[in-house]
Every structure is written in C-alpha cells, then in structure tokens.
Amino acid sequence: MTSFKISLPERSFSKGAFSPENYVLDKGLHAAVQVALTLGQPLLLTGEPGTGKTLLAYRIAHDLAKEDAHFLPEPLVFHTKTTSKATDMLYTYDALRHFHDANLSKTQGKEAPDTSHYIQLQALGKAIAMTDEQALATGQFISQQEARSSVVLIDEIDKAPRDFPNDILHEIEHYNFQIKEANNLLIQKGEAQRIVVVLTSNSEKHLPEAFLRRCVFYHIPFPSKKSLIQIVKSQLGEQSAYSDGELLDHFLLLRSLMKKKKPATAELLAWLRILEVNDFLKTNPNWSRLNIEQKQLLRQSYAVIAKTQEDLKEIEKWLA
C-alpha cells in the first residue's frame, strides 16, 4: 500500500501558509472594494464557502496598513453565532462573574469590584474605541494609547437571528454606542481615523432590505480555470509544478461529479499541497492510465476534497 504522508515537512508548511499580499482579486472584486472604501460603506460578500470571502478582509487590512501606519495590519474579527445579539459585536459583560466577585468581596468586607473589570470590548466596539481619543485617555476598556484605524470583519452574518442585521444598522453607520452597565458611557468614533467593515454571508438566509441598502455588495463566483492557476501560483509559488493544468482539470472534473458539497479554492489548495508533500508528480502520471500506486494516492487525497460520503463515493468511481 502507498505510504501517505501526514506530517508536513517544514518546507511545505511555510509555503502553504496564507499570505495576504498573494490574495488574488478579480476586477469586479477590486472595484467593489474601492467603491466601499470611497463611500465608507460596509462591504457585503457572498459566495460558496472557501472562495476567499473571509481572507479578503486580511488583504484589505494588509494593504491599508502599508498605505497608513495608523491602520492595524490585521482585521478585528467577530464570528457570528446563531445566538448573536447586536451588543455582542460591541462588548460583552460577564454579569455572573461580577455578581460572584461582588458577593465574595462583601463577605470579606472589601469594596465591590468596579463594573468595568467585567466588560470586554468586541470587534466593532474595540474598533470604535481605538479611534476615540477620550476613551483612550481613560484607559478604562482599552490600554492602547495612540488612536488607530482598523478593518472589522463580521463573519457569516447570515448565521445570526433575522433581527441582527437591522439591529446593527446604527452602529455601522454612526460608529457610536453606549455601555449601559457603565452608566451609559458613550464611545464614539474619532474624526481622524477610519473603520472599514467587511461582512460575509453564505446566503443561508435572506438579509433584510434595509440592511442591504446600506452595503456595497459583491458575489464572489467560483473562479475560472485561468483564475485558479493564478491563485495556485500566488499561494504555492510561481515555479510550483502543482499549478499544472492537468491537475486543475482533474479537480474540476471531480467538482462536476460532486452533488452534495462542491469543493472551493480552499479545498483545491489543500489538495494540491497534499499531493506536493507526497511527490505525486514525480511519477509523471498519465491520467488515462494511472498505475495502482497513483490511484491509491489520489484516493487517499480525496478526503481533502469530499466532505460527504456520497460525494466521496461518486468521485472514487472515476478511479475504478
């Protein structure tokens, strides 16, 4: 049986790491980013999982940080959950721990702990506070001293309850909020800095019209073969033999056979890295007459591409 490597050599691991500057934007996506930046509106991205929606925020932050030293080089990220509320994106208050500590202090004859110790700013709240000179001066919720601009990524917004997008309209338009547990302390965006909001959706739910009207929208389609080659070369290296057209043809063939969950660019890159680590191309595969070892290696690598038993069985038929 073919020996299938699981542990990655250091050489391949470093090559496989995502680098924002190598993220490939097509003309339409680039134009959408520029419109959002110019208008100061949130950028809403849809597309299949794995098409690079989330990673785009890292590219935007990387580029803006190169242009402006006040920009954070990586986005502040809020991972939306099915239970998310609008305030969760701004701050969280650990009432249970506060209540426990307050009771403990009382029994020990000590002064009750300050509420601010139990409030933690979240992605959008932190971004707003980082621009607020007054908030920075107090050092109450954020220890940073210099005002900074940032990109905020609100990931998979369609996971949240339906009211969530409408509930955050004020915050993403006016960039201010109050912390009711701290005597309604107002935190608001400073004029000198910028906040860029990127939202992603897997289109699992329809988003409210009022919310959509306030966003710049772009749907990231699955890339063409030409674009895939460019993406693979940008991530694996210009000289990588694994940007070979025949490998991409095989991937696209498998993708066409799958019915339940079609693989996207993330799965493609992972699959090619697995083949590279296992030196698949050293045997010069003839796709019309693969030998037993080559078929075995491919069959094992399909676990990276297929996410359901039905799709795995379907693409394995090709090797029969």
- Residue spans of the domains in the chain: they are 10-17+223-319, 27-220
Higher pLDDT, 168 or 42: 42
Contact 240, 232 (CB under 8 A): yes
Compute the distance between CA of residue 170 and CA of residue 154 in angstroms, rounded to an integer: 15
Question: Which residues, 6 or more positions from 220, have their beta carbon under 8 angstroms from its beta carbon?
Answer: 29, 45, 46, 47, 48, 51, 52, 53, 56
Residue 15 pLDDT exceeds 70:
no
Q: Quick count: other Cβ atoms within 10 Å of Cβ 56?
A: 26
φ, ψ dihedrals at 37, nearest 5°? -65, -40
**DSSP-derived secondary structure letter, 281:** G
Q: List, in sequence order, every residue forming a beta bridge with 155; answer none if it has no partner.
A: 79
Residue 49 pLDDT exceeds 90:
no
Compute the distance between CA of residue 318 and CA of residue 246 in angstroms, rounded to an integer: 15
φ, ψ dihedrals at 132, nearest 5°? -90, 105
Say what angle helices 309-316 and 292-305 make with each other, to 10 degrees.
Answer: 150
Compute the distance between CA of residue 131 and CA of residue 190 in angstroms, rounded to an integer: 5
Contact 54, 155 (CB under 8 A): yes
Can you give the pLDDT at residue 17?
57
Can you give the pLDDT at residue 82?
92
Can you give the pLDDT at residue 104?
83
Residue 164 pLDDT exceeds 50:
yes
Give the confidence band of 252 by pLDDT, cuts at 50, 70, 90.
very high
φ, ψ dihedrals at 174, nearest 5°? -105, -15
**DSSP-derived secondary structure letter, 75:** -
Compute the distance between CA of residue 61 and CA of residue 196 in angstroms, rounded to an integer: 9
CATH architecture of 27-220: 3-Layer(aba) Sandwich (3.40)
pTM assigned to the model: 0.82
Q: Quick count: other Cβ atoms within 10 Å of Cβ 13?
A: 12
27: phi > 0 → left, psi -120 to 50 → alpha, else beta; which? alpha
Residue 216 pLDDT exceeds 90:
yes
Residue 16 pLDDT exceeds 50:
no
Residues 187-194, mean pLDDT to the nearest whole number: 92
* Range scoring the smallest mean pLDDT among 41-50, 213-222, 287-296: 287-296
Can you give the pLDDT at residue 151?
97
Can you give the pLDDT at residue 317?
87
Q: Quick count: other Cβ atoms within 10 Å of Cβ 24?
A: 18
Residue 254 pLDDT exceeds 60:
yes
Residue 9 pLDDT exceeds 50:
no
Question: Which residues, 6 or more positions from 154, have their beta carbon under 8 angstroms from its beta carbon?
Answer: 78, 80, 89, 123, 124, 197, 198, 199, 200
Can you give the pLDDT at residue 4?
45
Residues 290-315, mean pLDDT to the nearest whole number: 91
